[in-house]
Structure 1
Amino acid sequence: MLGEGRLAVSNVVAAARGAHVRLAPTVMERLHRARGVVERIAASDRPVYGLTTGLGAAVDTRLEAADLAAFQRRAVNARAVGVGEPASEEEVRAMLVVRLAGICQGASGISPAFATVLEGLLNAGIVPQVRRTGTLGEADLSPLAQAMLPLVGGGTAVFRGEALPGPEALRRAGLVAPDFGAKDGIALLNSNAFGVGIACLALHDADLALEALTAAGALSLEAFRANLSPFEPRLVALRPAPGQAAAAERILGLLAGSDLLEAGAARRVQDPLSYRCLAPVHGVAAERLAEALRCVEADLNGAGDSPAVLVGTGEMASTVGFDTTAIALSLEGLGQALSHAAALAAFRAVKLMSPAVSDLPRFLTPLGGTRTGFATVQKTISALESEIRHLAQPVGALSVPVADGVEDYAPMTPRVAEKTRELARRLAALAAVELVVAAQAVDLRGGIRLGQGTGAAHRFVRSRIAFLDEDRPLGGEIHELSEAILAGALREALAR
């Protein structure tokens, strides 16, 4: 339900993937009160940005009273400048959910009928075509304008699997576009809903991928017969890095019941750093993920409109509620942290294949040197780690001012969110690879009593991917495992 209670990233993801959307009973009253403020000020002679003046560099242009409504329709058409590949259906739906949630806060001053039609559009399954390149992250005007084109008689939208002219999609769904009034166009567009919507999807994927990578790391500890002293609470407490204690506790929880916890089970006094540093690296990644969630959910539960309506005092004023620098930087920090976790995973998996380090058959094949085993999977590991490391590089702020220099800064949040999601999906694939490699190593080691969580992870792999004896194509199997991780199947297995 939108407009009542706190909206979470998980709510946006569920709606983006088809869950029904419903406006809270209190929303319409809130919107009507704010609309009254807009109509009163629009009828006065007071200059208000985007209401009685032009937009951007045209802020010095006063609008004629008779042109207020037409100007708002033109604002939508003029900002539909996106190019490149279309955003996916769930990305567009996430954007629309985020914008509708912002409208429900009551600061936009939009005509209430627009909230109703957006609710209807989402529940009917209409997905406007939105090309992703053309926004800088200080209000996602271009993608939102493209999504709203059906409301001004244009655009293209998919309805029940068919691409249709926007107005035809509305007609078939039994929806009628409301008449535009003062401020309605800018109220639809003045939001960071595209970048924030994709950020919700990215954080959802990153959370599942990091959980899977932690389980894979714990299973690798079992397969390697690693020394667990770096995870002992007494030793962690000597100098706990941010998140390290919690991560060490999670890993020991996965290992609960394992014979690796018994004295003398470890093969070495000290292991490679990719094994020893699992807790501090995953700990800081979890901290960065939590920070990014806080930043995104603050936006989901706020109103970034400018100008914003203050119903209590009957005012309208310009704001910078559309600035998403905090979100962009939190996502960049998350990407960097996940790239470090990816590097450890790559090193662990490769070391399990080396008999000199692991005391296991070369490339984990039981059939000897005439078989390839997991040798060529190392290329997949290296490619994934390299791509993750590249995607973790920062985008940086806007470098070319626009709108005649008025808009001379932007955090580029949409692109940061996009690349964070690309990174998270590759991380899930890398976690799938390490899970498969570690499961093979466990089976070759033999005679191991796995922990409760690591045992569940091993069963998760084996229920989908058989032990590798004779060489076979593994790429498709690993991809399916990665998709299962992103669908939440491993999380369910670990929770049983």
Structure 2
Amino acid sequence: MKIVLTGNDLTVSDVWEIAVNGAQVEISPEAEAKLEAARKLVYELVDADVPVYGFNTGVGWNKDHKIAKEFFEDFNRKLIYCHSFGVEPEASEAEVRAMMAVRLNCLLLGYTGIQPAVARRYAELLNAGLHPVVPEKGSVGEGDLTPLAHIGLVMIGEGEANYKGRRMSSAEAHKLAGLDPVVLGPKDGLAIVSSSAFSAGEAALAIKELRELVDMGDIISCLSLEGFNGNTSPIEAGVMAARKMEGQAKSAERMREYLAGSDIYGTYPGKPVQDPLCFRGAAYINGSLRDALEYAQKYLFIQMNSTDDNPCLLLDERRIISNSNFETTTLATAIEMLSIVLSHVSRMSCYRMLRLVNPELTKLPRFLSHDGGQSHCFGTIQKCFASLDTEIRHLSNPCSVDYLSLSGSIEDHANNTPLVVQHLRQIVKNLQYIYGMELIHACQAIELRKRQGKFNLGKGTAAAYEAFRKELPLYTNDRPLAPDVKKAYEFVKSAALLRSVGEAR
């Protein structure tokens, strides 16, 4: 598969294909022309000796230092050096591919004036499978200068890279891939490091998994509702129309579709008229996640398809001017909103599990034991999902507002977007585990309910139940649960649940 980059239409799905599935990239002819025209203007401005930040002047507090033409290569190389101080952990190869794809796409808009050969090197590295080793920590979010510098380090033949399953020096990797290191010219160093592509690339991968999780959340909630034998009145179309909330209406619509034909719609003497809020409000809270996700995706798309360079080259005006286009506070706070909503989603899932093992509410055996209580069954697994949920709540606390004034107080604002994104990434992973454990509980409850008498599932939930049961059978005796939890997590992470339900629709 090949994805043509234009600078204008890179999507989260495109980033996933490039980063995870190894899709090749190609620069569009129109984008190539923009690169050449922008670079031509850079050289004309060099000859005119116009003072431009990071071009023929220093950067940060050193903005008053003038850089002569004969020192351009040395200055740009040293700019890469001085920003290469990242701290472990290291980004995965998929995340490195994601950030390189985003950075290349934004360069193609022609606002940077980067040397076309340097821009092409991103594509060449991606297509060769030559991945720089990028430490994740060291950026405060006003441009991801630190991690991106490690990509620049590899481009000039220094630092380390992963190539064909081996970690090696950049020089060796270039030689094996048949590439020569690039030689930096005016503005190249700053163009490499001054971007938020690191944050945007990692965010794109997290958002891709989150888009799947929000859909799976509706299915899993339905399975739990059937295991609980709860009420469907909260998801009726008329109730949703009265509220006018788009996200929850979408989730409720999907839940009605999954539950179509289910015996849960039946009534019996003594059935409670309403359920605990973790069941009653499932579509509502998942709807809040849908709303937050739509907002975050809007600004992530803009981030991946616009320039965040300082200075900014305006080709039509034949100028390079200073600005703060590297500001990502809108994206950072959008992602923090996602993290906060996910804390609510996680807590709802945990409470559904706690309610499902309560015989006073379900009329099923305590802890969903198949033998009426002789086995511990799901009595202690609660500690696992409780600890993961606690971590999610901790990670959902905003960190974008916590920063120092740096570089002689010239850089007196930041937003910690990389940390914000990494918090989201861990929250998504924790929720995948929690949803896996909820599937274990819900399917166990459904099986026990079927033993009490005929109980038909909905069309969608039946498909989901059967797909999960192929991975994990009924829990019939105490055994180490860790392998089951890992299998359930992998099932959720693979999005097999969505595929199984999609085939049944």
Partner of 1:73: 77
1:212 maps onto 2:216 in alignment: yes
- Mapped to 1, the partners of 2:360 and 2:235 lie a distance apart of 25
Partner of 2:276: 272
The residue type equivalent to 2:142 in the other structure is: E
Partner of 2:358: 354
- Mapped to 1, the partners of 2:380 and 2:464 lie a distance apart of 23
Matched residue SS, 1:127 = strand
Partner of 2:406: 402
The residue type equivalent to 2:9 in the other structure is: R
Partner of 2:491: 484
Matched residue SS, 2:162 = strand
- Mapped to 2, the partners of 1:45 and 1:347 lie a distance apart of 66
Partner of 1:437: 441
Partner of 2:391: 387
Structure 1 residues 396 and 313: CA distance shift in structure 2, 3 A: closer
- Mapped to 1, the partners of 2:270 and 2:417 lie a distance apart of 46
Match of 2:458 among 451, 457, 475: 451
Match of 1:230 among 223, 231, 234: 234
Partner of 1:3: 6
1:470 maps onto 2:477 in alignment: yes
1:167 maps onto 2:171 in alignment: yes
The residue type equivalent to 2:478 in the other structure is: D
Partner of 1:329: 333
- Mapped to 2, the partners of 1:36 and 1:449 lie a distance apart of 70
- In the TM superposition, what is the alpha-carbon distance from 1:165 to its structure 2 partner? 1.0
1:135 maps onto 2:142 in alignment: no
For 1:232-381, list aligned pairs within 5 A: 232-241=236-245, 243-262=247-266, 264=268, 267-381=271-385
- In the TM superposition, what is the alpha-carbon distance from 1:84 to its structure 2 partner? 2.3
Q: Are 2:130 and 2:163, in contact at CA under 8 Å, matched by a contact in 1?
A: yes
Q: Are 1:255 and 1:450, in contact at CA under 8 Å, matched by a contact in 2?
A: yes
- In the TM superposition, what is the alpha-carbon distance from 1:373 to its structure 2 partner? 0.9
The residue type equivalent to 1:346 in the other structure is: C
* Deviation sequence 1:343-368 (CA, Å, 0-9, x none): 11111111111111111011111113
- Mapped to 2, the partners of 1:194 and 1:289 lie a distance apart of 20
- Mapped to 1, the partners of 2:271 and 2:96 lie a distance apart of 52
Matched residue SS, 1:43 = helix
1:151 maps onto 2:176 in alignment: no
Matched residue SS, 1:21 = strand
Partner of 1:460: 467
The residue type equivalent to 1:486 in the other structure is: K
With 53-62 and 484-493 compared, the bigger mean Cα shift is at: 484-493
- Mapped to 1, the partners of 2:401 and 2:100 lie a distance apart of 25
Partner of 2:417: 413
Q: Are 1:200 and 1:296, in contact at CA under 8 Å, matched by a contact in 2?
A: yes
- In the TM superposition, what is the alpha-carbon distance from 1:293 to its structure 2 partner? 0.8
- Mapped to 2, the partners of 1:84 and 1:348 lie a distance apart of 37
Q: Are 1:324 and 1:413, in contact at CA under 8 Å, matched by a contact in 2?
A: yes
- Mapped to 1, the partners of 2:480 and 2:427 lie a distance apart of 25
Matched residue SS, 1:135 = coil
1:63 maps onto 2:67 in alignment: yes
- Mapped to 1, the partners of 2:305 and 2:201 lie a distance apart of 13
Partner of 2:86: 82
- In the TM superposition, what is the alpha-carbon distance from 1:457 to its structure 2 partner? 1.5
For the aligned residue pairs, the C-alpha RMSD in angstroms reads 1.5
The residue type equivalent to 1:463 in the other structure is: K
- Mapped to 1, the partners of 2:296 and 2:106 lie a distance apart of 19
Q: Is there any run of 5+ residues in structure 1 with no aligned partner, and where? A: none
- In the TM superposition, what is the alpha-carbon distance from 1:272 to its structure 2 partner? 0.7
- In the TM superposition, what is the alpha-carbon distance from 1:209 to its structure 2 partner? 2.2
Q: Are 2:8 and 2:306, in contact at CA under 8 Å, matched by a contact in 1?
A: no
Partner of 2:34: 30
- Mapped to 1, the partners of 2:441 and 2:200 lie a distance apart of 35
* Deviation sequence 1:354-401 (CA, Å, 0-9, x none): 111111011111113221111122112211211111111111324211
Matched residue SS, 1:164 = strand
Partner of 1:12: 15
- Mapped to 1, the partners of 2:194 and 2:449 lie a distance apart of 59
- Mapped to 1, the partners of 2:279 and 2:345 lie a distance apart of 11
1:102 maps onto 2:106 in alignment: yes
Q: Is there any run of 5+ residues in structure 2 with no aligned partner, and where? A: none
Q: Are 2:358 and 2:366, in contact at CA under 8 Å, matched by a contact in 1?
A: yes
- Mapped to 2, the partners of 1:374 and 1:212 lie a distance apart of 22
- Mapped to 1, the partners of 2:270 and 2:312 lie a distance apart of 62
- Mapped to 1, the partners of 2:126 and 2:238 lie a distance apart of 52
Partner of 1:495: 502
- In the TM superposition, what is the alpha-carbon distance from 1:146 to its structure 2 partner? 0.8
Q: Are 2:289 and 2:341, in contact at CA under 8 Å, matched by a contact in 1?
A: yes
The residue type equivalent to 1:85 in the other structure is: P
Q: Are 1:242 and 1:280, in contact at CA under 8 Å, matched by a contact in 2?
A: no
- In the TM superposition, what is the alpha-carbon distance from 1:197 to its structure 2 partner? 0.8
Q: Are 1:325 and 1:413, in contact at CA under 8 Å, matched by a contact in 2?
A: yes
